[in-house]
Amino acid sequence: MTTNDIRRTRLEKVLKNHNYQESALLEILHSAQGIYGYLDRNLLMDIAGSLNLPPSHVYGVTTFYSFFKMRKPGQHIITACLGTACYVKGVEQIVVAIEKEFNLKRGGSTADGKLSLLCTRCIGACAMAPVVVLDDQVIGKATKELVIEKIRNVLEGVKDESE
Amino acid sequence: MNLNDIQRVAEEENEFQRAYKYRINVCCSSGCVPFGAFKVLKAFEDAVKEFGVENICKVARTGCVGTCSVGPAVLVDPGEYLYQSVTPENVREIVQSHIVSGVPVKKYLYVNESYFRKQQRLVLRNAGKIDPTRIQDYISTGGYFALAKCLLIMTPQGVIQEIVSSGLRGRGGAGFPVGQKWSLVARASNTPKYIVANLDEGDPGVFANRTLAEADPHAIIEGMIIAGYAIGAQKGYVYIRSEYPLAIEALQKAIAQAKEINLLGDNILGTQHKFDLELRFGAGAFVAGEETAILMSVEGRRAQPRPRPPYPANQGLWNNPTLIQNVESLANAPFIILNGGTWFKSFGLPNCTGTKCFSLTGEINNPGLIEVPMGITLREIIYDIGGGIPNGKKFKAVLVGGPSGGCLPESVLEAQIDYDSLKSVGAIMGSGGIVVLNEDSCMVDTARYFTDFCIEESCGKCTPCRAGLARVKEIFDKITTGEGELNNIDILEEASEYIINASLCGLGQTAPNPILTTLRYFREEYLEHIVNKKCKAGVCFRHENGGGK
């Protein structure tokens, strides 16, 4: 079986667990994004067909919620919290520094697809503001120097593995 | 499981806990985990074994202690010794001195009595004390006894009466009387009825609900089952932000445990009462916290609000009667039932009873999660509990109630925390966020920031909110880049009024609050930007001076 077949089998299981019910669309999209990494058009068409919903409805729901991603994310993801406490504590400077240092824009990825920069509204770790999340690692009381160094380490780690 | 079984579990657990002379509670809440709380937990478990004290000292994983700025926090009982910023390296020293020799290690202790003195922990009474992953811990503190009291002794009407008499008002922000809401849904004739617990804490800068779910998930579940009995609902949903993995995990585990011993499901505690619970995950839409939007989202649709009436109490989920309640309100129910509405009225103010949880953040010495009695003043919160502003900076403003709250100046710090007082100064209770700003923040920029937030989060249904806020943003862009004109202020005020009056839901109706409060209290800053092209805080005019926050 190809990777895609395995993924499709997992998706089918999710659909079945939810009895192909239209009201479980959000849960199914969550699971699908977990399985495939992101939700592209073909996948959304597939889900629409399985739930017997108009593709426009599935597309509309997907684009309404900012958590759902329709573009392939980078290998590593740095997420900056733009919540009030982080904003007050100067997270904007960190975001600008990352954009400059790694030559990418918020919401986008580097040309080599290794790093994506996302912004989110409050991850709820406000007492440690400003906060950024590198892959699964939460970096509290962040400074731009610290964050850039951590990103570099992670990116270099990738290179090591592939060599 | 019936009442005797619950009593037996409680007795066994209490006996089990009494066997230990010491209890080390390691906070493993979202605030402490990034600082290595799980490593500290493991280090304590290893250390008590190493020193051979595992028979007299219990190491427990708990929820939030409240001091989120000095994590990982560790609470040692008896005596409630609170250690701050514990690292795996100093764990051995603490165990050796405190547990083996009985001498607390002073240099690591958190000494700040005023942080806790003015707080009153009702909803968070178990936070940091019990292990949220063990239902026995909850039961040993009297958990699920309120449910037993409801199901075995009280009528649904009696339960509602008790909640009515407590004077409890909704903690989600609007402050609608909880008992009244319950009786509206109870009176609705259609069935099945539903309960939706709102844990879509989308306000940036707020983490009170998340902390509650992480620290004491069973309190939310018990509150929901009680509400289900009172209004005649057999199915409940907890709508939770997908950005809260630890809270989701805590709730999933708690639901599974409650199902296992038949506190959820059919024939609860041997009675006829049925209740089932499911989690529903949000997907990053702030507006989904609005009560008609949350229904759309639970049904798997775009979270767009609809007009009321019909109210959800009559036509909610799938057009059936639905009780929508913030999780903090629900977590109040168990101890109101146990102790009575009259007892509850002894907390807070006569017309605004009980306590409220706030996350206290921003430029403040002691950020963290606090629970205070209604009626406390903002000044007490900021200076007595929060310890004032760090680094010798001056206080400038406090944002109360999230992005749709108000920015309040020094002159109104005597305002009391209650729904009406906050409203009279231009803020709202909101979901419980207090963010403190110092002199380095520009109030025009702050209003622009919140407008940005509301533009992104507007669902786009009502034109005043969708297009009006965009127009407001254009004006802010002008003012903050030096192109402001004097009539801009009039336009901001006029547009705000239109947006408030012509929007359907709470998002639009409150979005201009930061604009109006900054105009009301900090008008001179707007004038400075427009007339003198100057930003005292050095935040705006980025292109001119390359500055900015």
User: What was the ipTM of the complex prediction?
Assistant: 0.89
B326-374 pLDDT, tens digit per residue, is: 999 999 999 999 999 999 999 999 999 999 999 999 999 999 999 999 9
- What is the C-alpha to C-alpha distance for residues B500 and B512, in angstroms, rounded to an integer? 7
Is pLDDT above 60 for B547?
no
Q: Which fold has domain B142-344?
A: Rossmann fold (3.40.50)
Q: Using pLDDT thresholds of 50, 70 and 90, give the confidence band for residue B549.
A: very low
The verdict on residue A14 lying in a domain is yes
Is pLDDT above 50 for B423?
yes
Query: What pTM, to 2 d.p., does this model score?
Result: 0.94
Give residues 261 to 290 of B whose Cβ lies within 8 Å of A: 280-286
| Mean pLDDT on B387-395 | 96
| Mean pLDDT on B68-75 | 90
| Mean pLDDT on B268-288 | 94
| Mean pLDDT on B218-244 | 96
Give residues 164 to 203 of B whose Cβ lies within 8 Å of A: 201-203
What's the domain range around A43? 3-64
The total number of structural domains that make up chain A: 2
Q: Hey, are the CB atoms on B207 and A125 less than 8 Å from each other?
A: yes
pLDDT on residue A157: 82
Whether residues A80 and A152 share a domain: the answer is yes
Q: Among all residues of chain A, which has the CA nearest to that of B31?
A: A125
Q: Does B302 touch chain A (CB under 8 A)?
A: yes
pLDDT on residue B544: 43
Is pLDDT above 60 for B243?
yes
Of A64, A95, A117, the domain-final residue: A64
Nearest-CB residue to A24 (from B242, B300, B403): B300
The verdict on residue A29 lying in a domain is yes
| Mean pLDDT on B170-186 | 95
Write down the architecture of domain B352-435 according to CATH.
Roll (3.10)
pLDDT on residue B542: 65
Write down the architecture of domain B3-112 according to CATH.
3-Layer(aba) Sandwich (3.40)
The verdict on residue A70 lying in a domain is no
| Mean pLDDT on A139-157 | 93
Pick from A71-80, A102-111, B534-543: least confident: B534-543
Q: Are B32 and B61 in contact (CB under 8 A)?
A: no
Q: Among all residues of chain B, which has the CA nearest to that of A63?
A: B302
Q: Hey, are the CB atoms on B459 and A129 less than 8 Å from each other?
A: no
Q: Hey, are the CB atoms on A30 and B283 less than 8 Å from each other?
A: yes
- What is the C-alpha to C-alpha distance for residues B512 and B493, in angstroms, rounded to an integer? 9
Nearest-CB residue to A126 (from B33, B282, B361): B361
* Rounded to 5°, angle at Cα B332 from B331 and B338: 110
Q: Using pLDDT thresholds of 50, 70 and 90, give the confidence band for residue A127.
A: confident
The verdict on residue A23 lying in a domain is yes
- What is the C-alpha to C-alpha distance for residues B226 and B264, in angstroms, rounded to an integer? 11
Is pLDDT above 90 for B532?
yes
- What is the C-alpha to C-alpha distance for residues A48 and A60, in angstroms, rounded to an integer? 11
- What is the C-alpha to C-alpha distance for residues B320 and B300, in angstroms, rounded to an integer? 16
| Mean pLDDT on A124-149 | 89
- CATH 3.40.630.20 for domain B443-545: no
Q: Hey, are the CB atoms on B359 and A126 less than 8 Å from each other?
A: yes
The verdict on residue A85 lying in a domain is yes
Is pLDDT above 90 for B157?
yes
Report DSSP letters for B96-113, one per residue.
IIIIIS----GGGB---H
Residues of B whose CB is below 8 A from A89: 362-363
Of A37, A64, A91, the domain-final residue: A64
Domain chopping of chain B, boundaries: 3-112, 142-344, 352-435, 443-545
Q: Hey, are the CB atoms on A65 and B283 less than 8 Å from each other?
A: yes
Nearest-CB residue to B435 (from A27, A85, A137): A85
Whether residues A96 and A155 share a domain: the answer is yes
| Mean pLDDT on B44-65 | 96
pLDDT on residue B169: 97
- What is the C-alpha to C-alpha distance for residues B167 and B186, in angstroms, rounded to an integer? 18
- CATH code assigned at A155: 3.40.30.10
| Mean pLDDT on B281-296 | 94
The verdict on residue A49 lying in a domain is yes
Whether residues A85 and A53 share a domain: the answer is no
- Per the prediction, chain B carries an average pLDDT of 94
pLDDT on residue A160: 39
Whether residues A36 and A113 share a domain: the answer is no
Whether residues A107 and A150 share a domain: the answer is yes
Q: Hey, are the CB atoms on A65 and B362 less than 8 Å from each other?
A: no
Whether residues A84 and A158 share a domain: the answer is yes
Q: Among all residues of chain A, which has the CA nearest to that of B317?
A: A23
Residues of B whose CB is below 8 A from A122: 202-206, 243
The verdict on residue A71 lying in a domain is no
Residues of A whose CB is below 8 A from B244: 124
Question: Can you point out the beta strands (E) in B41-166?
Answer: 57-62, 74-77, 81-83
Q: Hey, are the CB atoms on B207 and A124 less than 8 Å from each other?
A: yes
Highest mean pLDDT among A126-135, B331-340, B400-409: B331-340
Q: Tell me which of B115, B207, B214, B458 to substitute to probe the interface with A (most A C-beta atoms closer than 10 Å).
A: B207
| Mean pLDDT on A16-43 | 95
Residues sharing a CB contact under 8 Å with residue B270, sequence separation 6 or more, in sequence order: B1, B2
Is pLDDT above 60 for B545?
no
The verdict on residue A69 lying in a domain is no
Q: Closest Cα partner for B534 from B473, B409, B444, B459?
A: B444
pLDDT on residue B301: 95
CA dist B362 to B5, B55, B183, Å?
Answer: 47, 43, 40
Q: Hey, are the CB atoms on B204 and A122 less than 8 Å from each other?
A: yes
pLDDT on residue A122: 77
